[in-house]
A and B are shown apart, each in its own frame.
Chain A
């Protein structure tokens, strides 16, 4: 039963998403939403299903943004290759950091990911290629496969939407696949998974790499949409934001990260016009409320509510 409710919400969102340019919503804002939704869904793969808290996930998002921006600006690579380069780089980085971090579990795992993400930030700050505090600006969108020009926000929006949909469905496929079952088992009870004979470390690293690569998709697209790759993309606060988005929306659900990221990005956009610091306070309050009262997140609570209702009626 909860599944059907989620399905309804999914169809409604899809309808809304398809109609966005006609509803007068600023397409760039909507595209930014989709990029961060991709990022949050990728993060959820790790936190929600494999139950691994990566405290520096912005590293993969940002590194992909930089790579794509650099390929477009300095190498003049075609758009799709630049995106691929971004994803490949974040997957590689995910492999390295995942390998290092998997040597430990729990809090220590989170701490290692944080420390290594700080090193990535430092690299992006210092390396001449990334433009330091200015970042990389004026990234041209180019055209998709050489045929579809992406300058128009209208066209770009639908391209981004389609990619976002593919990512969403892809993650669903991954979680429902045999691989997905194993990582869920690891997330629920690692010792049991080990006793069943699975090489748990390999699965964890693979999940990490997948999560990093998908986060990279979000980052690469964002660089093309906004035309910028800056230090904010790899900063610790962005890592914190994606944790919040997932927590708020509901870890372990599919829609959760989408809803959570939409709420957070919308808050930031419309509250930053007043004074920026209230955004911090509100985000902090949401964190506190979620951790204390609302651990399932929005979608999680909705699903649980519907499940309770249906089991009462059934009984």
Chain B
């Protein structure tokens, strides 16, 4: 029996030693090496909006920048947060602690992005919130290291809700995704509706990822509203609109697409989506620069870029340029360079980053074309109105962010 015990304990100690050696080789990133992280919804409700295709946009930007920064190669890490705040925040924290992360892109999901923003503040790693809409990222939940790109709930409401109320839709009922994004979008839209003389007659909260909207739409119908405000996005938006058409609700109530992407319209197809009013921060068919980028992206991925994918490209380039200007990856110096930067690229020509973290740029109110008006695949929008940045995002004085004072 002594032999057995000896063997067992030797085996156990060997195991411990082996594990120790294995882990000793843990990488610790060198200083001033750019490590970009992308944590996104890669497989579920929002996967088509940015998702794995968005990673291609980041790679394009890194390649266009030259592949190296400050003389060292640029590393890209990616992960799927599966719409869970704990996964997103833990990954961010782990990359910051273990992999020398210098910038995080991503989110899509406002709830996850809020959790990640907290990590940004704690670990001091710049966070470009692309895809998450919640305006609280630049108000109550702001940090000195958060940059909110592409759009937010304020600008969406200012665009779409204003257009619909002024177009005659006075009584609103909201179908709201039951988490931070939906809540904030409903709040922002409500403010606009009330400001323009409309009323909100009711709302219902729908779990993220619901596929059968019939009972919620029934509630909307019995409310007697003339506008059904869809405060949701991604496949939620696609499914709720399809259901609304199926149950004949779109005949008596006008759907307000408070957040809709090119990928959604593509999934719905024009006959189902025609006539919708929506607000976007970017569209591929605006001018020659955007068309050129769209074409490049299409050749790589087989899809035209959504505003978020273009946003990924632009934010990566903006960050890399700021690192070049600051000469270091030190977060405070880079944030300083970012705030001084003028953003002039495929995404926008007159963009700048404010003290509250908003990247202020022009927004566009669009209407979805009818099948007859569309001349080619992905030719879906016509411009109704261009909103200049300050109007879309509201003045800095309105922000409740403590760093904006």
Contacts and interface: CB of A to CB of B under 8 A. Distances in A.
A132 B98 contact: no
Contacts of A132: 178-179
A4 B6 CA distance: 10
Interface in B1-60: 1, 4-5, 8-9, 12-13, 15-16, 19-20, 23-26, 43
A8 B179 contact: no
Interface stretch (B67-75, B80-88, B299-307): B80-88
Interface in B79-128: 79-80, 82, 84-87, 89-90, 93-94, 97-98, 111, 114-115, 118
B180 interface: yes
B272 interface: no
B90 A28 contact: yes
Given A137-B114, A228-B85, A272-B80, A310 B23 contact: no
Interface in A191-215: none
A137 to B, nearest CB: 5
Contacts, number: 105
Contact of A276 (B8, B16, B43, B114): B43
Contacts of A153: 97
Contact of A277 (B15, B43, B114): B43
B208 interface: yes
Contacts of B84: 230, 232
B94 A26 contact: yes
B8 A230 contact: no
Nearest to B97: A26
Given A132-B178, A134-B115, A12 B13 contact: yes
A135 B4 contact: no
Contact of B4 (A28, A133, A277, A306): A306
A11 B85 contact: no
Interface residues of B, number: 37
B86 A310 contact: no
Contacts of B118: 137-138, 227
A135 B178 contact: no
Contact of A135 (B23, B86, B97): B86
Contacts of B9: 8, 11-12
Contacts of B180: 133-134
Contacts of A16: 15-16, 19-20
Contacts of A29: 94
A226 B43 contact: no
By secondary structure, the B interface counts as helix
Contacts of A232: 84, 86
A153 B96 CA distance: 13
A169 interface: no
Nearest to A135: B85
Contacts of A5: 4-5, 8
B87 A25 contact: no
Interface string A117-148: 00000000000000011110110000000000
B111 A134 contact: yes
Interface range for A? 35 or more
Nearest to A29: B94
B23 A8 contact: no
Contacts of A306: 4
Contacts of B19: 16, 23
Query: In the complex, which of the residues B25, B79, B82, B115 has the most CB atoms of chain A within 10 Å of its own CB atom?
Result: B115
A293 interface: no
Interface in A172-200: none
A24 B97 contact: no
Contacts of B16: 12-13, 15-16, 19
A275 interface: yes
A310 B2 CA distance: 11
A18 B347 CA distance: 52
Nearest to A22: B20
B97 A28 contact: yes
A1 B85 contact: no
A28 B43 contact: no
A9 interface: yes
Contacts of B13: 12, 15
Query: In the complex, which of the residues A132, A275, A310 has the most CB atoms of chain B within 10 Å of its own CB atom?
Result: A132
Contacts of A137: 85, 89, 114-115, 118
B80 A8 contact: no
A200 B20 CA distance: 47
A273 B79 contact: yes
Nearest to B78: A273
A197 B93 CA distance: 55
A5 B12 CA distance: 10
A253 to B, nearest CB: 15
Contact of A1 (B4, B79, B87, B179): B4
A310 B20 CA distance: 31
Contacts of A25: 23, 26
Contacts of B87: 272
B328 to A, nearest CB: 26
A270 to B, nearest CB: 11
A309 B82 CA distance: 47
Contacts of A138: 118
Contacts of B79: 272-273
B8 A134 contact: no
Interface string A256-294: 000000000000000011011100000000000000000
B98 to A, nearest CB: 6
Contacts of A310: 1, 4
A28 B98 CA distance: 11
A4 B8 CA distance: 9
Given A11-B12, A227-B118, 10 more contacts: A24-B23, A28-B93, A134-B114, A137-B85, A226-B90, A228-B115, A230-B85, A232-B84, A309-B4, A313-B1
Closest 9 CB pairs of A and B: A12-B12, A133-B179, A24-B26, A8-B9, A134-B111, A24-B23, A16-B16, A23-B20, A138-B118
15 contacts: A5-B8, A9-B8, A16-B16, A16-B19, A26-B97, A26-B98, A28-B90, A134-B85, A134-B115, A134-B180, A153-B97, A227-B118, A232-B84, A272-B79, A310-B1
Interface of B: 1, 4-5, 8-9, 12-13, 15-16, 19-20, 23-26, 43, 79-80, 82, 84-87, 89-90, 93-94, 97-98, 111, 114-115, 118, 178-180, 208
